A and B are shown apart, each in its own frame.
Chain A
Amino acid sequence: MTVDDVTTRLVNSALTRRRFLERTAVVGGSLAAGNILAACGDDDDDGDGDAPTGQQLGQQLRDILGEPRNLIAEGPGNFDITGSWPLTGPGSVYGELQSEGFRYGAEHVAAWTNGKLRFQAEAVDNAGGDPQKSVANARGAGLAREPIFVTSYIFGFGAQPALIAQYKMLSLDPGGGTGPLAQGLPYCYGFRASYPQDLVDGLLETITRENSDASTLAVVDAEINADYNGANEEFSRGAAQRAGLELVSFSTAPLGQTDYASVISAVKEDDPNVVVFLNFGTDVAYCAREVQRQALDATYGGIDFTPDGAQVAGPAFRDWIFSHDYINVTDPPSDWSKLFVDSWESDNGNPPENYNAAYYASAFAYAIMMDRILGFGGDIQNGADWLRALEQEPTFPHVYGGNGSQIGEIVLDPETHSPTSIPILGFRAEGTGSTEDITLLAEYDIGGRNYQPIES
């Protein structure tokens, strides 16, 4: 009897691991179970068990992505890496998604390289971008002489770049990206569309197609600071013009609150027929509830769509249009995304969320860089060589976008350290409370380039 057998039985009686723990309802029991399951190696083994593993998986990945020859020949085996994630605090839902995504990516990288590269990711908590903890995490990785560092929350809300540069650790942030304020920082690369600006043009394009009467636009931004909000205001003005709309108001909403009555009241005053929210997490969901409460009639758009937000908003999100660099789980477009989505679903019992996918892809990006370093005879413990490997060819495969054997790509800019290209989806939320219930409307690139409507 293995853990697999036990969990298969549980699955057959329609219990997931989580429900099992709830029923035992003893914290000690849950911790013990967690430990046992962790010790047995595979935490989330309650899917249908159909996912390819080991050799089979490795071969499939090599067929799709090509062979990482240098890694297979000289890979270091275990490789320590630190991931600074919001494991507790306000953003803790993200932390789980991100760390699980990276861990899954590490597993697949190990299969892809025949076990010659196993990222051993130590997850450290940044408590939702807490600066003290973010700094401690970066410093810890730096003092351990790790040449790479995985992070989130726009490099810990700007607390980490100084240390990342000091200790020369190539750092990817697939969670927060660079935003407008963390661009071009040494060793810091955003691994997702720069938030929010890269997503706005596509969003407005989709909205104006859905609502041909749209004429006036109000934008609500997340209140970060004057530079950030100022940059976004200027950008919004331009984007509105490009979309043929008049920007009638630009306001900010405080972070992490639940009561946005005053924000919405102010927006209502300007009577826009399109309102776009640039804030994130549950903030945009609470704004949606407020919009519903105040019966403000307009077309709504947003750029962050998370499981937590969807749950909070529920029907308040119905018919909202979102623009997000996103994984298409209903119809994964490329062979790689299909492999990823299918094996995740089979291993976990539910499709992957967006942050799972983003961090999954970043694991492969790191692996490819290491392969390049080995290729030019560099030192995989030297951050400068990692940087060279990235800048040598700043294009990496991604599980977003693509078509069949053509894999989607993210292209990074060595100047801004942010992507110039990444597949972005425009979709309509159905307001069921689940991120799975969306209708895809369009796909496009940064700035709304190469806009392609999707026929439903």
Chain B
Amino acid sequence: MEEFFTHADVVAIFAIYAISLNLLLGVAGQISIAHAAFGAVGAYSTGYLVVIQDWSFFPAFWVGIAAALVVGLLMSLPALYLDVRYLILLTLALSTALLAVVGAIPELGGSYGLRDVPNLEIFGTTYDDPSEFFRPLIVLALLVLAICSLIAYSPYGRVLRAIRDDELATRGVGKNVILYKVTVFGITSAMAGLAGIMLLYFNRSAQPGAFDLAVSMQIIAMVVIGGAGNLLGSILGATLLVLLEPFLQDVVNMSPTNAALTQLTIYGALIAAFLLVRPQGLLPESWTPAAAVRALRRSPPERPESEEVAPPKPSPRLAETAGPPPTSDGGNPEAVLEASDLKKYFGGIHAADGLSLRLPRGRVTGLIGPNGAGKTTVFNLLTGVIPLDEGKVWLHGQDITGWTLNRIANAGMARSYQDVRIYPRMSVLENVMIAVPDQPGERLPNALFRRIRTHEGEKEARQKALEHLEFVGLSARADKLAGELAFGEQKVVALARLLATEAEVLLLDEPASGIDIDWVETMLGLIAELRERGKSICVVEHNLHVVERIADSVYFMETGTITAEGTVRELMQQERLAEVYFGSA
């Protein structure tokens, strides 16, 4: 029985490691190979206090967790601005440096480590045997699972997944990605520290070797094998990899050295083989016990989809308004967005060279020009994706120059992208829900402690999202995975997502490109309707017929600056512009 609990204890400790790493890696998409090193921070901090300073467990425990939290937060800062490959290097360097420092500090015992760690004693009760140790351990493990589950399967978790799948788009719908990343790094590091502390007490000693890179890589293997993004899978992964070694020891029976080597060979080969056979891991991300039960109860499979996907029927109102734009009236509607003298240089290239424009309320403004004129760059500059070298931008009269992308989105200006950038692994509904602002469940305290409020907020967000989907005519597709939709549908979903931000200024980057004529009609109808609702819309388009139909006025842009303004017809009558746009006859 005790032998069973010996294994169970190690499984539980590594389950804590794996579940927390899965939150960071599988859900939030941040790679770290320093997870075990955070365990070292927790273990050594607590161990030092208990062994050298004679503290009792409880306060030392909290200091250990706090230490791991702080180091995690510190590491997250450079991690924010490094791409995935440098993130691996950063975590590798951190792990090595941490363990080297720990090994060099005399009080921590060098490679010999901290010894004489007493048995775990919490408020007078000692936990000597593995079976006794299991009791507080399983409580902590379940707590970690609960916290991570609450985070992962809440609106907060949805934002994390969105960050994982497309960070830029997530910033573009107004989420403060930095805050999310820093928070999740901190929380998961603290949990790793917790695992390290429990390992300290289980081993009754701490050595650098128990927290090195090989251990971090094993934890990654547990996450990947269990299923990245599925927290229950991490428990499975931990169980499998922890139990594999003793299993092989029992099964492989030969001379001691050969046995050990054979076990290692099989162990490594099984890991590789598993990735070959089931690289998505044991449990796919969306699998939950509830989902499995639902799947069992489901009626016969749905009819196969017809190949041709018809564009959504626009709602009756649209049919009336999808026509030529109203002629410009005499009044000059207020400019919701104003940009003045924007300048941006990439070395010798003047992407923006003294560019000014204004977007009035309730109007569609086109932005046309030859290839390479810098039109998408303008959008990037306006929304803060790229910093300006010079110039100013005002939104609703407020100076937003230098604001971040998410701040601008929250202030009321958002954009769509040429390459659509929807979240393929989320449902259509979730794609739109993510953009709904002010969701209580997206704040961590609410997600963890105010479940009712989160739930209410979620219902509200769902309702709003459905309305937007209804508007664009895609409510029937709400539960489909966005990645499975046709390109045209995806563009419409992206538009719905944009609308969900409730921004007044909408920058649409080639909304009509890459889709056939029926879809174009739908798109135009939607844009017209939005104009009716008072949105200020700017459309970058190559297709002049499209621009002609929808734009109230048009800016002509070449080599980083606006050189002409007017309707399409007016501009195309100017020979020089036509030549610039189409090339010489």
Contacts and interface: CB of A to CB of B under 8 A. Distances in A.
Direct contact of A and B (CB under 8 A): yes
B111 A157 contact: yes
A161 B116 CA distance: 8
B347 interface: no
B110 A43 contact: no
B257 A87 contact: yes
Contacts of A166: 119, 128, 204
Nearest to B205: A159
Nearest to B105: A226
Interface in A121-168: 123-125, 129-132, 135-136, 139-140, 143-144, 157-159, 161-163, 166
Contacts, number: 109
B258 A132 contact: no
Contacts of A161: 115
Contacts of B106: 225-227
A84 to B, nearest CB: 11
A131 B209 contact: yes
A228 interface: yes
Interface string B442-460: 0000000000000000000
Interface string B230-273: 00000000000000000001000111111111101000000000
B260 A157 contact: no
Interface in A96-133: 96, 99, 123-125, 129-132
B94 interface: no
Contacts of B264: 88
Interface string B6-47: 100010000000000000000000000000000000000000
Nearest to B215: A132
Interface in B78-127: 103, 106-107, 109-113, 115-117, 119
Interface in A212-253: 223-228
Given A34-B254, A92-B257, A157 B3 contact: no
B411 to A, nearest CB: 53
Contacts of A226: 106-107, 110
A96 B109 CA distance: 29
Nearest to A161: B115
Contacts of B520: none
A38 B254 contact: yes
B182 interface: no
A203 to B, nearest CB: 24
B399 to A, nearest CB: 57
Interface in B295-315: none
Given A87-B256, A163-B204, A225-B111, A139 B117 contact: no
A300 B10 CA distance: 46
Given A43-B255, A135-B205, A225 B130 contact: no
B207 A34 contact: no
A34 B259 CA distance: 10
Contacts of A158: 109, 112-113, 115, 205, 207
Interface centre among A129, A166, A225 (most CB of B within 10 A): A225
Contacts of A228: 110, 112
Nearest to B119: A166
Interface in A261-307: none
B256 A95 contact: yes
B75 interface: no
Interface residues of A, number: 40
A145 to B, nearest CB: 10
Given A87-B256, A132-B210, A225-B106, A139 B262 contact: no
A35 B258 CA distance: 10
B320 interface: no
Given A157-B113, A224-B112, A228-B112, A95 B257 contact: yes
A73 interface: no
A173 to B, nearest CB: 14
Contacts of B110: 223-226, 228
A124 B256 CA distance: 8
Contact of B256 (A35, A123, A255): A123
Nearest to A44: B255
B513 to A, nearest CB: 57
A72 B203 CA distance: 39
Given A143-B3, A181-B112, A225-B110, A159 B207 contact: yes
A114 to B, nearest CB: 27
Contacts of B130: 139, 143
A35 B47 CA distance: 45
B163 to A, nearest CB: 34
Nearest to B9: A139
A187 interface: no
Nearest to B262: A31
Given A157-B209, A158-B205, A228-B110, 19 more contacts: A31-B258, A88-B257, A88-B260, A99-B256, A130-B209, A131-B205, A131-B209, A135-B202, A136-B10, A143-B130, A157-B112, A157-B113, A181-B112, A223-B110, A224-B111, A226-B106, A226-B107, A227-B106, A255-B111
7 closest A-B pairs by beta carbon, nearest first, are: A225-B110, A226-B106, A123-B256, A87-B260, A162-B204, A131-B207, A125-B260
16 contacts: A34-B258, A38-B255, A85-B256, A99-B257, A124-B249, A125-B260, A131-B209, A132-B209, A140-B6, A143-B3, A157-B209, A159-B113, A159-B207, A161-B115, A226-B110, A228-B110
